[in-house]
Structure 1
Amino acid sequence: MSTVGGTQLGKPGTQVRLKAGAPPLPKGLTARSWMVSDAESGEVLAAHNAHWRLPPASTLKMLFADTLLPKFRKDQTHKVELSDLAGMGEGSSLVGVKEKYTYSVHDLWLGVFLRSGNDAVHVLSAMNGGKPQTVRDMQAHADELNARDTRVVSPDGYDEKGQVSSAYDLTLFARSGLRKADFREYASTARAKFPGEVKKDKKTKKAKREHFEIQNTNRLLTGDTDLDPYEGIAGVKNGSTTQAGATFTGVAERGDRVLLVTVMNPAKNEHNEVYRETAKLFDWGFKAADAVEPVGTLVAPGPDGVADAEADEKDGVVGGGKNSHQQANAAVPAGGDGAGGGGWTAAGIAGGSLALLAAAAYAVHRRWPLPGMVRRRSRP
């Protein structure tokens, strides 16, 4: 495996450095790969096969959004042609984009983030010059972010031969995307209205475009019949395909701590299992953040990002934050069986959005303050 972010992250199995009195890792973790990290400092608190190259499913849409969001204005519109929707995989998740209808870029991004709509992805890709160009752009951005485990074949994350990513890389994509206000808005939107077909009003007999409600498929944000929304959750993206299984990257805040958790392909075949394992790791991370030594770091973009991280590791510092000196104790395995082999748009949800400081703060010790992050919770 790759050692980007630290040599310990290149080791197989569970990597964690518990201090005296630290809570043990949660039991019952069955994911093939997972990682818990501090979104601000970049410190990796614990990981399991962090650099395993696995099919990413729709979590790859985080890279798609991070790459293409700056290219189009939200109010820009596009009339969909049949060719825009060509090439979608069988059984693709769809938001309901129709040919011959016009959509705003804002509408299309809601379709990408809330419904994981491959149809919306393909339309935005067509606007970007087509699928091959979009794949090239995404791969170039992944390379810029030092996401060296990632190979992009399809922009929507649909299973394709050779398309892989890792828990480490998906976390990099989420962290980079969260620097963008639009990314934060869409990722934290619970419900929204999406344009439908044009029909005649029964009373006025005038043609009118209907809208229908869409709900975010991130169940830690919206909840489910067997799952409550997670306290402090603010995104990011889920996915599921035959080859990838269930995948998810989430960001959450409690107190002054902001964590990122990525979980890939739980072996336990239970409803919402990927969210349950994510919630367990969030709970552990918030309790253990000050009671562990980091096992690696989320590197900054560009060639200097890896070089700086390697220099820090050589000097005995991991993560770039205060008192994050690596100790010589061995990695501690997970306890027990835990090392498995309303109609609301973002503007209508209570609270604000992640408030990020200037990019210069990210360059200094790779610390990335997110002090203004406010929970986006569904209203009852």
Structure 2
Amino acid sequence: MPAPKKALRRSLTVTSAALTALAVLSPAALAAPDPSTSPTPTPPASMSTKGGARLGKPGTQVDLAGGAPVLPKDITARSWIVADAESGDVLAAHNAHWRLAPASTLKMLFADTLLPKWPKTTEHKVAVSDLAGIGAGSSLVGVKEEETYSVHDLWLGVFLRSGNDAVHVLSAMNGGVDQTVADMNEHAEELQALDTNVVSPDGYDAPHQVSSAYDLTLFARSGLQKKDFREYASTVRAKFPGQTEKDKKGKTTRKPFEIQNTNRLLSGDSDMDVYPGIAGVKNGNTTNAGATFTGVAERNGKVLLVTVMNPAKDEHNEVYKETARLFDWGFAAAGKARPVGELVRPMSAAQASPAPDASGEAGGTGSGDAGTGPVAGATASEGGGGVGVAAAVVAGVLALLAGGAFLVNRRWPLPDLVRRRTRP
């Protein structure tokens, strides 16, 4: 689905196409500094204050009112954030707006930007040029030139195996890498993710390519409103088409092979269990970025988003272990810790409507809207993957068709598998 024109973005009638960005690339993003690769970096003395003044301060920001538990002491990440996915309240943060290399967590923005463009049944034959320019040492799902793949196959490759080859094929379908980078930067600005500057759509290290824990959380929150995004982000394993082979008699066969999600909170590993209630989202790891991760999880009806960037502690799966500890704290602190900031709404939504009150209606007078009711959770792909759910939150797709308001506090029902993973 093509991105709407700027004139349409100003309209009060905003459809789900508003998720494909509208603004021009921000000068601030173009001037973003290279990420530091120093082992002992220091955050800037002042950072963006988007979402609240405290989020622009270096160090940990938290308000332990109302008997909220103390934060875990063994969090070594350079930057992290814990937020309520529904209300947008930031419960705690550490250098939330520090511009750092994002690694493959940037694929959340890639997916949120391009997912609406094609039905998942669309097929594409891969040209040699589609796979040009993939960085050395990139993670790959195994896309082969001259083979045909469905869009569904390619998105599974992006989310489960973080396949840069799948990203480049989808970018080629979108008019090329340069066009896709421009689209992503526009969408980042529409989401008010102004710490972000995209240079490579797959998150591969590149000069001036930066994002922040705050922005990555905005990308997850926006993407999780899309049913397909939720399905792909929470699928544990699936079948991916193999290469066509011909036997001695000339008969051709194409056997699929299994791929598994590299998100260890979702799939588990030798040194960690699946996190109860986990429902996605995306992990990454590069030389400049170190390990990065954004996750969403549900417990007792509360949905939280946690982003962790580059833990200093060099242990196996450390980024997931620190994320799990922050999830545990967030669920224990929900309703007790006072917010230190908020996840902002997209530009089009903020311009079109006043902020909603506690009832979730703008000004308390809005009425129900067509197309904003609960959406059934997507089914898991072959192999028994769990399908996660994020709350229907402020991110761009739930714009009002009646009155121009912007709704929050809409929730999709959790599938049984995710419920079984949720602990009290």
TM, length-normalised to structure 2: 0.77
1:345 positional shift? 1.3
CA distance in 1, matches of 2:343, 2:357: 10
In the alignment, the residues of structure 1 paired with residue 406 and residue 254 of structure 2 have an alpha-carbon distance, to the nearest angstrom, of: 51
Mapping of residues 12-91 of structure 1, within 5 Å: 12-91=58-137
Q: Does the C-alpha gap of structure 1 residues 7 and 374 become closer, same or farther in structure 2, counting only changes over 3 Å?
A: farther
Identify the match of residue 216 of structure 1 among 239, 261, 278. Answer: 261
CA contact (8 A) 1:94 1:119 kept: yes
Whether 1:229 aligns to 2:277 is no
1:235-254 alignment runs, 5 A limit = 235-254=280-299
SS of the aligned residue for 1:47 comes to: strand
Q: Which moved more, 1:355-364 or 1:91-100?
A: 355-364
The answer to whether the 8 Å contact 1:221/1:377 transfers is no
Which residue is 1:345 aligned to?
381
Q: Are 2:39 and 1:3 equivalent residues in the alignment?
A: no
Counterpart-to-counterpart distance in 1, 2:416 and 2:180: 32
Residue equivalent to 2:334: 289
Give the count of matched residue pairs: 350
Q: Which residue of 1 aligns with 2:316?
A: 271
Closer/same/farther in 2, CA of residues 239 and 378 from structure 1, 3 Å limit:
farther
Partner of 1:93: 139
The code of the aligned residue for 1:372 comes to P
Q: Secondary structure at the match of 1:185?
A: helix
Which gives a bigger RCO, structure 1 or 2 (Cα 8 Å, sep 6+)? 1
In the superposition, relative to structure 1, how do residues 210 and 365 fare at CA in structure 2: closer, same or farther (>3 Å)?
Answer: closer
Q: 1:154 to 1:255 in 2, by over 3 A?
A: same
Aligned residue identity for 2:212: S
Match for residue 196 of structure 1 among 237, 242, 249? 242
Q: CA deviation at 1:196?
A: 0.5
For residue 169 of structure 1, give the secondary structure of its aligned residue in structure 2: helix
**C-alpha displacement of 1:20:** 3.8
**1:153-177 deviation per Cα after TM superposition (whole angstroms, max 9, x unaligned):** 0000000000000000000000000
8 Å contact kept, 2:352–2:405? no
Instruction: Quickly say closer, same or farther: Cα 1:201–1:257, change in 2 above 3 A.
Output: farther
Q: C-alpha offsets along residues 201-256 of structure 1, whole Å, 9 cap, x if unaligned? A: 79x97321111000000000000011100000000000000000000000000011
Q: Is the 8 A contact 1:221 1:233 kept in 2?
A: yes
CA separation in 2, counterparts of 1:217 and 1:88?
20
Does the Cα contact within 8 Å between 2:303 and 2:391 map onto a contact in 1? no
Distance 2:289 2:278 in 1: 23
CA contact (8 A) 2:246 2:252 kept: yes
Task: Write out per-residue CA displacement over residues 82-124 of structure 1, whole angstroms, 9 at most, x where no aligned residue.
Answer: 1100001110000000001010000000000000000000000
2:398 alignment partner in structure 1: 359
Distance 1:208 1:292 in 2: 58
Paired amino acid for 1:256: G
CA positional deviation for 1:355 = 7.1
**Secondary structure of 2:321's aligned partner:** helix
CA distance in 1, matches of 2:231, 2:383: 8
Tell me the residue number matched to 2:224: 178
Alignment of 1:365-380 (within 5 A): 367-374=408-415, 376=417
Distance 1:147 1:75, change over 3 A: same
Q: Report deviation, 1:27.
A: 1.3
Q: Distance in 1 between matches of 2:267 and 2:334?
A: 26
Q: Which residue identity does 2:381 align to in structure 1?
A: T
Maintained 8 Å contact 2:158/2:166: yes
Partner of 2:181: 135
* RMSD of aligned residue pairs (Cα, Å): 2.7
| Alpha-carbon distance, 1:359 to partner | 1.2
Give the CA deviation at 1:368: 3.4
Are 1:349 and 1:378, in contact at CA under 8 Å, matched by a contact in 2? no
Using the TM superposition, give the Cα deviation of residue 367 of structure 1 relative to its aligned residue in structure 2, in angstroms. Answer: 2.8
Deviation for aligned residue 1:134: 0.2
The CA deviation string for residues 253-308 of structure 1, in whole angstroms up to 9 with x for no partner, is 00110000000000001000000000000000000011111000111101663999
Q: Which amino acid aligns with 1:259?
A: L
Contact (CA 8 Å) 1:320, 1:365: kept in 2 or not? Answer: no
Q: Is the 8 A contact 1:12 1:48 kept in 2?
A: yes
Distance, in Å, in 1 between the alignment partners of 2:145 and 2:420 is: 34
